[in-house]
Structure 1
């Protein structure tokens, strides 16, 4: 009922009622009671940006991701390195996992060394798109989280690839009393090292993991895709895209195929038990952990693809509680 009341208030008073009215004051009070620093002035001055995506050519499609401070360049860095392999070597199996481990180390190293708020420091795209560029960096982040991805397309050509999140499971774990609103903790990705590019600073946006994606073919939108999964989202994006582009799968099969995820830090690999060769790989390699089917760290990927007959086809991940819906 508290959240319903807030939604009704937004319906009556719009955005100003939320940020500058009673709801905003309640959120500020909840944070201050816990020794936080947010003020009414902070709440009253939100801002959004309309930005150009970052992109690259992968086979015959152009892949578009969100720019910094998101980790979109990390997904492109993975694709840049995997694109050097012929499609036959991208078949599911131990060989693909080995290729991903090497590509992941390079891509995430660049991410953790270079990506932050571009309003505070420029973020060069060139190293991410150079298959030979590499740095060393510690990559540590949550395996889970509270994220939802969705996509939509209509007969007029309007497309939406959308992701939203409160970061960790249940975010900060704090609900602003009387609002039903769960407060996020996205700031956990900031670094406390004063020399780090992503150091904590006032009014700064941290590097974050949220990356809804889109792909173009022949200059027209061709696919929408994305997944929850925190740090693992670039790995999930690229596995779905390889299924679509290199293996020619329809979107439902592309998001449902067994997959793997190299965990934060790169020291272990979680592999779905039904993935080809998973059991043998786990016996030979102690760093490989077999995961039950539909394990949450493997993401909930969804996709919409324009087929050769100009018909939109969609796929919803069976690991999730999501679904494909046609709305008249």
Structure 2
């Protein structure tokens, strides 16, 4: 496996991969990574470290996730890969008719309408009970401490916080949004870089979650607070919706790509889109020196996979086509045959019937975790439950209002979900966790880092640092400002409408940890486009 050593890529920032033996935590915020490492050193395993890091991220990176968000996890332990779907359902009494009755023709971004049952606290409790070594009280200690004592805001975090505040100040004028301002803009503005921000209410809520293993959030005092806030401000969410929620253990789905198994969480997540694209690309040969042809085929495969995802993917109960049909080699070959020398307008096929945080952890026992958590669109719905610090997600914004659409809004239904953790194995042995957060960039990032790893033998850091592209719609493609200009021009000649995006964070934020099967040595990469860091032992 050359990608454990190879350091270079022609258009990459020259950074080195990180190596360790006893443990590794890779995520987007240094304090959260250190929290996970602290748990490892205190006798916890990779699962404990993942929970600690995730909880800490709700405090030290609230612009991307919160207690009131969803989570997904892929966990390798004792020779098996486990999948956890901790996304929540819509309120039982919401409907297209009810939302239209309130004057909306499309799902709004903010307020109670797009709020679904949060799954993240349930994920922490479930992972701790099933696989953890330490108590949840001990695992959440670092997050609780940062919430109570505060931490200095980083420059990247400050930038996104300021952007969110400017939007919310203009658009969220109803009194139900006041608690967001009280919690996240206590001085009437977003905190500046280097300024200490703390949230004692957040700390109290985390302690309540720790003491009850998440039960209070769904069937206790915290659930009652959420219910009362919803009832008083016109929300659909009730304590019955919360009480009926439980995270779901699922069988991960996979495709074989050049001898490696690439794993994702099954729908309602969009990981199937990354797998479809890889399934299409598996039939091509890629020359390391022919960058234009590589990018062209990647983009075309991604467009076809997204077209299928938009039409076919929802909660499995509502899907017309089974996952096995969408990921079959025969269907992949059929879609591959549509790719030519010129950019196509993507359309969904018909197979035969039959604003997010990501973290990766590993320990010396062989446990590895791929974990992703999000409120969606930054802070989410703009709603914070009074006295708790719980920022509620707006994941329901992805529901369709079209009654004929597979992802149409309905009560008690999970929506199409953007957040996806990834994992790679070979010959039934773990290679490791990977992920790229960032809305609809995520499956595109998964495809790019996996191909960088397998096809071009890059180590984790080089695979992440390589210039990225993303498909927007139709033939519109965004590329990073350091994307090679001559390649962008040649892609334009193939019919792609290329735009240069100056904001590097538009292309996702990724983390990778691979394990050398011969030595057990861990090698990791972290995101250079944000405050990415790796804590090692």
Partner of 2:530: 320
What is the correspondence of 1:204-283 to structure 2 with a 5 Å cutoff?
204-263=413-472, 265-276=473-484, 277-278=486-487, 280-281=489-490
What is the correspondence of 1:44-63 to structure 2 with a 5 Å cutoff?
44-63=243-262
What is the correspondence of 1:112-261 to structure 2 with a 5 Å cutoff?
112-121=310-319, 123-125=321-323, 126-129=325-328, 130-131=331-332, 132-133=334-335, 136=347, 145=355, 147-261=356-470
Query: Which runs of 5 or more structure 2 residues have no equivalent in the other structure?
Result: 1-199, 339-345, 349-354
Distance 1:43 1:4, change over 3 A: same
SS of the aligned residue for 1:325 comes to strand
Distance 1:91 1:220, change over 3 A: farther
Greater Cα offset, 66-75 or 27-36: 27-36
Q: Which of 262, 269, 273 lines up with 1:74 in the alignment?
A: 273
TM-score by length of 1: 0.89
User: Are 2:294 and 1:96 equivalent residues in the alignment?
Assistant: yes
For residues 180-232 of structure 1, the C-alpha deviation after alignment (integer angstroms, 9 at most, x for no partner) is: 11100111111111111111111110111111011111220113100111111
Q: Conserved in 1, the CA contact under 8 Å of 2:477 and 2:496? A: no
Partner of 2:500: 290
Greater share of residues in helix: 2
Q: Conserved in 1, the CA contact under 8 Å of 2:268 and 2:316? A: yes
Partner of 1:141: none
Q: Conserved in 2, the CA contact under 8 Å of 1:120 and 1:204? A: no
Q: Distance in 1 between matches of 2:212 and 2:236?
A: 26
User: Are 2:319 and 1:110 equivalent residues in the alignment?
Assistant: no
Shift of 1:281: 4.9
For residues 243-265 of structure 1, the C-alpha deviation after alignment (integer angstroms, 9 at most, x for no partner) is: 111111111111111111112x2
Partner of 2:234: 35
Q: Distance in 1 between matches of 2:223 and 2:290?
A: 49
Q: Distance in 2 between matches of 1:3 and 1:85?
A: 50
TM-score by length of 2: 0.56
Question: How many correspondences in the alignment?
Answer: 316
Q: Distance in 1 between matches of 2:491 and 2:322?
A: 38
| More RCO (CA 8 Å, sep 6+) | 2
Distance 1:111 1:232, change over 3 A: same
Q: Distance in 2 between matches of 1:286 and 1:236?
A: 19
Q: Distance in 2 between matches of 1:279 and 1:118?
A: 38
Q: Conserved in 2, the CA contact under 8 Å of 1:211 and 1:233? A: yes
Q: Distance in 2 between matches of 1:300 and 1:91?
A: 26
Q: Distance in 2 between matches of 1:113 and 1:183?
A: 28
Q: Distance in 1 between matches of 2:253 and 2:496?
A: 37
Greater Cα offset, 191-200 or 273-282: 273-282
Q: Conserved in 2, the CA contact under 8 Å of 1:116 and 1:123? A: no
Q: Which of 505, 508, 520 lines up with 1:299 in the alignment?
A: 508
User: Are 2:217 and 1:18 equivalent residues in the alignment?
Assistant: yes
Q: Distance in 2 between matches of 1:101 and 1:183?
A: 34
Shift of 1:156: 0.8
Shift of 1:168: 1.3
Q: Distance in 2 between matches of 1:106 and 1:314?
A: 31
Q: Distance in 2 between matches of 1:2 and 1:47?
A: 25
